[in-house]
Amino acid sequence: MPLRAPNQVNQPSEPIRVFVDFEGQRVRPVAFQWGTKRYDVRKVHLVYRRRVGSRFHWCFSVSDEANTYVLAYDPETLAWRLDVPAVFS
């Protein structure tokens, strides 16, 4: 069965607060707050740039002890969002 791109219209995202560590010229998320709960980042799996219209967002695929999340950073608005990872079927 061929892969098809996810429907971006149905991909929710929520604003979050992210705590980062600056290592030289790199940024590494160490924790984020979603609602009233804080999640400690145990591992950063992947960092990539995603085009959104004429802009780019930096995306960090991270995990805590149980789940994987995608944290998206917009350098123009300085805002972080929690994105639902794209799933191909």
DSSP 2-35: ------GGG--EEE-EEEEEEETTEEEEEEEEET
For residue range 37-84, list pLDDT tens digits in order: 999 999 999 999 999 999 999 999 999 999 999 999 999 999 999 986
Report the candidate in 31, 28, 42 with the shortest Cα–Cα distance to residue 82: 31
Q: Does 20 score more than 80 pLDDT?
A: yes
Query: What pLDDT is stored for residue 85 in this prediction?
Result: 60
Q: pTM higher than 0.85 for the full model?
A: no
Task: Write down the domain spans for the chain.
Answer: 15-83
Strand 17-23 vs strand 13-15: parallel, antiparallel, or unpaired? Answer: unpaired
